[in-house]
Structure 1
């Protein structure tokens, strides 16, 4: 009998001395083969068309030979529904067991939970399970088969699954969607990989509230980025859109801020140049500083505020208004609008001639929430952050803009329908000819936000008080994962703008 020396432990084919077989050597295993494994993760696979009846209880098992040629040495094991209640009493996620009397079969050809093992296991009523009394940490607690964001394109539309990991950038409230199986909950969020790539994740049905609860329970109470892992996701593409996203499957498991080398490596990599998390921003939202649009308008009209009080407002962009254009001509020193003559530009604020005026963004956004709608005006760097595009790159399209009847440039169309937290000063309120607007001085994004009992709350909030979390700050321009195919301004308001924060 041959033996393999791994980490000081001899492991080979099963014999009378109780030697265990590695998980990658089970294809020709003897009937009395024993394995020594940790239950890395465990879940119930449900039949969503039959009132969520349990089809099976499934697990990913890992042994002490963690990597073979950089491939995870793990295996998918399943317990049919009939035997699930009894075996779940003796099997627990995270613990180590010696298991024998199981069936070895060929791994699934479609939607395999573990890709890099040709076999899978089935446990029945005669399975013998013995818990190990001690844990010497030779078998890691977790195992994943992560796919880089840039490699997901190879899996789009195919019958394969993918484990993904990333920093939580933003989380949308749960929505109710109508599907072929009836009305179900749906939640969307975005992950960053630390290299400038952003991936949308869509969670369905029970996974939506499950994620929210895990985020509240496991979010860092001190300023620190939050890292999420989603296993066994499906890679998809929006119809008529090149953007990729991943969606939960029946085998998905969610982890937030767990202690693994991959999480540690991701945080470490974020410290490099060009990282999504190159800088961070501490955000603490409470019921005091979050206002609805209706509340903002009411306070602004009535004048019930003092000084430059600032509020945060969660709003969705309905439209980008083009009547006054997408930019303004400004003084390079004070950022105010300059006036022009036939030959010169002049800054009335600086009281001097401007030889080289600067073109800056000016976006008028028609926004709404559940209470009211209004206009938020964004200037310069704030508008560029939202556009994810430098104004110079948009200039060729702007040359064709003629005002009211112009079409919105394609590079800005992604803004329509997006939701953000805008920071607004009540003193920036402006009303002219019945049109009301505010200047948004900052966009607090990314942000984790949750809707509860019809009130806007955040994952920073708890019954014991406001928690502060550190949230990665997006670069001004980010890359989406795509599937390639062969196929005149309001001068009054501009002049009221103070120096914008960079």
Structure 2
């Protein structure tokens, strides 16, 4: 305990008259994609001066009360909240507890002393161990250098905001190494390959000036060249042998995937607008085998395909 307040490591789930001073490092809406993206809760990550962090959740019925009071990056005094056990799956941070706000929770921005709490904390996992995190008890933060990136398409699916943000930042025209931290991803297998899918909680941070990023830049100083400006057309790249030969060193995995997917799988599919699962094309209509009904207006779903690497190796990620 410090001056009448508690550190996050001191919290337990047997009382609620707590007081903490924390920085809000991330904030997102948890939504139900099967119910037209209806908001379930407003969730945040809180970080204290000792570097401990915890997830906090604000139920839908209280979001109007707290949303205007909270902003990413700011430091707050928070009192009178409930501490509960963390969820069994999709934990954003490795803390056995999480916080629930309720209608009498007190929140006030702290204007002095905010420098003692750092801006970020990530739980970065090397690619070499991702295959063992497929049960998704925890969501996964990764760091890597982007060495190739495919074209961006308009997306009508979860992850849309992330893909739009990546498109707006225009990675293909950056003249320096792009070191990307991607947070809160779900580890999955896609077409037999390891992939990361974005979630409601996913954020990405480009070339942060923090020690972990600076150390990582040093570790890949002799790795592949800086990302080049390469446009991947919609048509099959296998037909353009000159383009393949010219760019094979920088986009080999991306090209290989596009060639295979054009021939076998296509790089998009039509999904049910209710459950978002793949539909079967039973001309002249689409059928959802999950919902067992006809789909009048199926949605196209696309992937953002990127190849990234760290000191343990390289892999290809699909971000939906």
TM, length-normalised to structure 2: 0.72
Deviation at 1:50, TM superposition (A): 2.2
1:87 paired with 2:66, answer yes
Which protein, 1 or 2, shows the higher relative CO under an 8 Å CA cutoff with sep ≥ 6? 2
Deviation at 1:136, TM superposition (A): 4.5
Instruction: Give the equivalent residue in structure 2 for 1:355.
Output: none
Deviation at 1:53, TM superposition (A): 1.9
Instruction: Give the equivalent residue in structure 2 for 1:394.
Output: none
Matches of 1:256 and 1:232, distance apart in 2 = 15
Instruction: Give the equivalent residue in structure 1 for 2:259.
Output: 416
> Is the Cα–Cα contact under 8 Å of residues 76 and 121 in structure 1 kept in the other structure?
yes
Matches of 1:48 and 1:103, distance apart in 2 = 27
Matches of 1:377 and 1:52, distance apart in 2 = 41
Instruction: Give the equivalent residue in structure 1 for 2:202.
Output: 252
> Is the Cα–Cα contact under 8 Å of residues 46 and 250 in structure 1 kept in the other structure?
yes
1:53 paired with 2:38, answer yes
Matches of 1:98 and 1:257, distance apart in 2 = 30
1:138 paired with 2:116, answer yes
1:232 paired with 2:217, answer no
Instruction: Give the equivalent residue in structure 1 for 2:159.
Output: 204
Instruction: Give the equivalent residue in structure 1 for 2:249.
Output: 385
Listed one character per residue, the Cα deviations across residues 374-399 of structure 1 (whole Å, up to 9, x for unaligned) are x54876xx59738969xxxxxxxxxx
Deviation at 1:137, TM superposition (A): 1.8
Deviation at 1:24, TM superposition (A): 1.6
Instruction: Give the equivalent residue in structure 2 for 1:21.
Output: 6
Instruction: Give the equivalent residue in structure 2 for 1:42.
Output: 27
> Is the Cα–Cα contact under 8 Å of residues 76 and 110 in structure 2 kept in the other structure?
yes
2:220 aligned residue (259, 263, 270): 270
Deviation at 1:101, TM superposition (A): 0.4
Matches of 1:159 and 1:153, distance apart in 2 = 13
Listed one character per residue, the Cα deviations across residues 261-285 of structure 1 (whole Å, up to 9, x for unaligned) are 22222212222x4x23xx447x568
Listed one character per residue, the Cα deviations across residues 268-318 of structure 1 (whole Å, up to 9, x for unaligned) are 2222x4x23xx447x568xxxxxxxxxxxxxxxxxxxxxxxxxx8847546
> Is the Cα–Cα contact under 8 Å of residues 387 and 415 in structure 1 kept in the other structure?
no
Listed one character per residue, the Cα deviations across residues 10-44 of structure 1 (whole Å, up to 9, x for unaligned) are xx17xxxx422111210156432211100011111
> Is the Cα–Cα contact under 8 Å of residues 145 and 308 in structure 2 kept in the other structure?
no
Matches of 1:100 and 1:385, distance apart in 2 = 55
Distance 1:87 1:158, change over 3 A: closer
Larger radius of gyration: 1
Matches of 2:30 and 2:212, distance apart in 1 = 26
Runs (5+) with no aligned partner, structure 1? 1-11, 67-72, 178-183, 186-202, 286-311, 319-364, 368-374, 390-411, 420-471, 483-502
Runs (5+) with no aligned partner, structure 2? 263-306
SS at 1:24 equivalent: helix
Matches of 2:148 and 2:97, distance apart in 1 = 38
Deviation at 1:55, TM superposition (A): 1.0
Instruction: Give the equivalent residue in structure 2 for 1:156.
Output: 134
**Aligned-pair Cα RMSD in Å:** 3.5
2:54 aligned residue (53, 75, 100): 75
1:122 aligned residue (79, 95, 100): 100
Matches of 2:98 and 2:232, distance apart in 1 = 51
Distance 1:259 1:36, change over 3 A: same
SS at 1:208 equivalent: helix
SS at 1:88 equivalent: helix
Deviation at 1:155, TM superposition (A): 0.8
Matches of 1:377 and 1:97, distance apart in 2 = 53
Q: Kindly indicate which of the two structures has a greater share of residues assigned to helix.
A: 2
Q: Kindly indicate which of the two structures has a greater share of residues assigned to strand.
A: 1
Matches of 1:220 and 1:88, distance apart in 2 = 35
> Is the Cα–Cα contact under 8 Å of residues 90 and 138 in structure 2 kept in the other structure?
yes
Listed one character per residue, the Cα deviations across residues 85-123 of structure 1 (whole Å, up to 9, x for unaligned) are 1211212111111111000000111111112x1110011
> Is the Cα–Cα contact under 8 Å of residues 316 and 417 in structure 1 kept in the other structure?
no
Superposition map of 1:462-481 within 5 A: 479-480=314-315
> Is the Cα–Cα contact under 8 Å of residues 317 and 418 in structure 1 kept in the other structure?
no
Deviation at 1:235, TM superposition (A): 0.5
Matches of 1:378 and 1:220, distance apart in 2 = 17
